[in-house]
Amino acid sequence: MPQFLYQVRPTRLAMLTEGPTEQESAILGRHFAYLEQLLAQGVLLMAGRTLTEDARTFGIAILEAESEAAALRWMQDDPAVAEGVMRAELFPYRVALWADAGPPR
């Protein structure tokens, strides 16, 4: 099945340096729950973010989807993207190597 990577970046960098607002916190909670749902459905292969707190910071999610249109819908339905806390970009992607013993959840 085709794989895709979507990259997210915060729309308000101060969310990382000063902390999220109450509204941003709620949206980020829904974002995490959404990714957990995609993982349980077998759509999400992995997700994570850099630990930087400057303009270089970003997160990624690697998905398997039947088509680019389906992957785009998954990305656009992410609450952090849909509610404007993060901006996102989708890329066709292929995992070349994967460790047998991946990092713990």
Res 98: pLDDT: 85
Res 31: pLDDT: 98
* Predicted confidence band of residue 102 (pLDDT cuts 50, 70, 90): low
The DSSP symbol for 52 reads -
Domain map (residue ranges) of the chain: 3-47+69-93
Whether 4 has a pLDDT exceeding 60, the answer reads yes
pTM for this model (two decimals): 0.91
Res 103: pLDDT: 63
Average pLDDT over residues 80-95: 97
In the chain, where do the E strands start and end? 3-10, 44-49, 59-64, 86-93
Res 25: pLDDT: 97
Pair 66, 1: CB distance under 8 Å? yes
Average pLDDT over residues 53-68: 95
Question: What's the CA gap between 61 and 90, in Å, rounded?
Answer: 10
Res 80: pLDDT: 98
Average pLDDT over residues 37-59: 95
